[in-house]
Each structure stands twice: as C-alpha cells, then as structure tokens.
Amino acid sequence: MSRRQKMLRGLLIACLAILILACGPDASIHANLADAKIYPMGEIPADAERVEVGIYTTIIDGLDIASSTYDLTAYVWFKWKGDIDPTAHMELSNLTQRYDFTKEPLYEKPLTLPDGRQYQVMQIHGRFFQPFDLKDFPFDKQSIAIIIQDEYRAHENLVYLPDMNQSGFAADLAIPGWRVLGWRAGPVIRDYGSRFGAPDTHLSSRYPALQYEIVIGRHANFFLWKLLMPLLIVLAANWMALLIDPELVDVRTALPATSMLTLVFLQQTYTSELPEVGSLVLMDKIYVLAYVVVVSTLIEVIATASWQKSSEKITDARVSRVDRYTLAAQIGVFFGSVIALLAAADSLA
C-alpha cells in the first residue's frame, strides 16, 4: 500500500470516529431530582393551609428561544379558608422584568363562596423565563411555565393545589411557529438552600409553589422544508460528483468542495438563532453526517483519480462502478443514520 493510500485510509477512519463521537449518547450530566432547586411536593404536611390555585392563559407572545423568555397574559384565581390571604404574598419566581409586570384583581375584596372559602381572581401580564432544552432541536418540546410561590410562609404552613377542572388555556391561543400540545400543573417546593441569615425559627429555606406549564412543539414542516430540504439539495450536488465522467477530475473535486462550504453557511443560518449550548443538538448531528458524506466523496474522487494515473488497469468503467457502490453506501448510511437519530430523540419517544 502506497503512502498516499495509507493517508486516505487514515482520513476515512478519522471521519468514522468523528461520526461515532457526534452521534453517540449524550455525555451531559443530569442532576438528581432530590438535588434540584424545584422538586415535587410529595406528601402534604398535615397542618398546612391548602390553597386551590387556577391558571387560565389567554396570550403568549414575544417567545425568544435565544434568551428563553416570553410574554404571557393569564387569569389566576385563589380559593382558600382561614385567615391566611395567599394573594397578599404571592410571588411569580420566574418573572424577569418586574418593572413591566401588571397584576389587576377583579374584586376589591375577596368573595365568600357558599362553602365558606374565600375567592379572588386577577389578571397578570409579564415577561417570564424558563430554560429551554434544545438537545432535540428541531423536534424539541418546550415548557412555557409560570411558577407561583408564597414569599413569606414555609411549605409546612401553606400548600398550593392546582384547580385541574377549570385551569387551562384559551381555545384560540396561538404561538407562531409552534403547536400547543397541552398543559400540566402541580404543587412543588422551591428550595433556596439558605435561610438568608435569619434564625432557624424565623425563615425557612423551602417555600410552597405551584408550577403551571403549557407544552409546545415545533411544526414538522419547519424541519422538512426549512432545514432538511436545503441540506438534501446540497448533498444531491455532492453526489453528482460520483455520476460524472471520471476523466473530469476538476469538476468531480469542485462539487464536494463547494458542497462543504455551503453546508457550513447553512449550519450557521440556524445556529445563529439558538443560544450557546454545551453539546450538539439533533440538527448538528445530522450536519455531522452530511460533513462525513461530503468528505468521503472528496476522498473517493481524489483516490480514484490518483489510482487511475498510477495504473493503466484502473479503467473508467471500473472507477464508475466504484462510484456507484460509494453512492449507494453513502445514501444508505446517511438516511439510515438520520432515521436512527430521529427515533432516538427524547421528544419523539
């Protein structure tokens, strides 16, 4: 084996190693639920005041994936018994722009219901923050959340319970570019891990909260027409190099080289709209597959041209046959790997 052939074989092995590393399991570390700052309530303390909370969302706009923020308008109501007024110390812990937040109670004083409970409803509007998980982009599902918390009473004294019958979102709620998949709500505990310097008997580190989420997902057409179709067009141009007469070496090498540059620009187009993440998202892994395909095409074209010059036994017909086998293998590996990646995505499970 010549030195040039050894170099080409080494490049192919390097491409395969990159493919395995990029498309393998995610090595990110996930925190245990018990170590999280917000975790499910679990057993309700026996002496805790129970407050029923309902949330009905009417408008969501200004969704910014890069900053994980959104504007939200909703109605929030409370039903409770006893002397504790939960509306007096209500806090929205994931609110970002407090200067622009509005809270308008519909009644000057809480109403008394026939069952003896107090009732108050208010309309809220503000900009909220919820970290978005983009590992399955563009098939990611995101949560538009509101976290209602009591800023004064510990979770042993007060518990929020969701009104599952009346909560939800408006039938005409629409978020451009997204599908509204449903909603969920549940009582949680927000643990600050600190009593802020106060004695143990004065302040707690854990406070009651209720987490309300609207789950959204992207339309499949976004992936098919805006991301996959341009990628396939570039790959088709790359594969044309394997269908051209082997004697046209300049054209055969120019096509994959141009395709490589085009792939770089296409990838920058969608990554510019995403925040900085520490690992590859699903679409990045698909592009890694495309890079490997284009590089392998370029290597095959250069290798066959070199072998033709070094030996008269390597005819155009033989090179064309190798090209067809390479083309079939690349198409099979690429589409098979893409299907495997999509099937393995958490958001499609």
| pTM, to two decimals | 0.77
C-alpha span between 105 and 100 (Å, rounded):
17
Which residues are 78's β-sheet partners?
53, 120
Phi, psi of 201 (to 5 degrees): -85, -5
Give the residue among 24, 17, 284 at the shortest CA–CA distance from 135: 284
> Residue 25's pLDDT is what?
46
Query: Which domains does the chain possess?
Result: 3-28+221-348 (1.20.58.390), 36-218 (2.70.170.10)
pLDDT score for 44 = 65
Contacts of residues 303-312 at CB distance under 8 Å and 24 or more positions apart, as own/partner, are 303/5, 303/8, 304/246, 305/246, 305/249, 305/252, 305/253, 306/4, 308/246, 310/2
Predicted confidence (pLDDT) per residue in 291-312, tens digit: 999 999 999 998 888 887 877 6
Give per-residue pLDDT as tens, 57-111: 999 999 999 889 999 999 999 999 987 888 888 889 899 988 889 999 999 999 9
| Residue-level pLDDT at 220 | 86
Q: What's the pLDDT tens digit per position in 198-236?
A: 665 555 667 788 999 999 999 988 888 999 999 999 999
Residue-level pLDDT at 42: 57
Positive or negative, the CA dihedral 10, 11, 16, 20 is: positive
pLDDT band at 344 (very low <50, low <70, confident <90, very high): confident
Q: In this predicted model, what pLDDT tens digit does every residue of 154-166 receive, in sequence order? A: 556 788 899 999 9
HSE-CB of 103 using CA atoms within 13 angstroms: 14
Between 245 and 24, residue with greater pLDDT: 245
Residues 258-289 pLDDT 10s: 999 999 999 999 988 888 877 889 999 999 99
Asked whether the predicted pLDDT for residue 178 surpasses 80, the reply is yes
